[in-house]
Amino acid sequence: MSAEDKKKLEFELRGKAWKVYWLLLKRGCPMSVREVQRALHFSSPSVAQHHLDRLCDLGLVQKQSVGGSYLLTSKVKIGVLRHFVKLGRLLFPRYFFYAIFSTTFYIAYLATLMQSFTRENLFITIFGAVVSAIFWYEALRVWRLKPY
């Protein structure tokens, strides 16, 4: 997908359509119009239908011939989705894994390797705390950007 196509898609995929796309991505299974309406607390099924049709027009969703459910057919990494990783049905900010990794090694260092209080250990302690705090801050910041 070209940069221009991504810009156009990012422009088209906003608001409630973005929430519907996010829901279908997160669930990973076909959903009916009513299921989408209930999950996103839309005022009526026609609102959900409209946004599902928009996603179909964009080529991201396909309506199944049997049952009339909608299935995500194309996954795009635009907007805030660039910062998320999908594991099963869960979406995590990429920074979440960095934060866990850095915090784990920081705690392991404090618990096992730091035996005396020297200047080097003070530097490593402060540096490890700052790095972990930055990764946790970024993970929470990106988490708050998700549509719902």
140, 133 contact by CB (below 8 A): no
Q: At what angle do helices 119-144 and 94-108 cross, to 10 degrees?
A: 160
pLDDT at 104: 96
Q: Which residues contact 120 (CB under 8 A, 6 or more apart)?
A: none
pLDDT at 141: 93
**Which residues, given as ranges, of the chain have pLDDT below 70?**
1-2, 148
Give the bridge partners for 112, in sequence order: none
Q: What is the pLDDT of residues 118-133, one digit of tens each?
A: 888 889 899 999 999 9
CB 23 within 8 A of CB 146: no
Beta carbons of 70 and 36 less than 8 angstroms apart:
yes
What pLDDT does 148 receive?
63
β-strand partners of 63: 70
Distance CA(39)–CA(54), nearest Å, equals: 18
pLDDT digits (tens, 9 = 90+) for 96-109: 999 999 999 999 99
Contacts of 88-96 with CB under 8 Å at 24 or more apart are: 88/28, 89/26, 89/27, 89/28, 90/26, 91/25, 91/26, 91/146, 93/138, 93/139, 93/142, 93/143, 94/142, 95/135, 95/136, 95/138, 95/139, 95/142, 96/139, 96/143
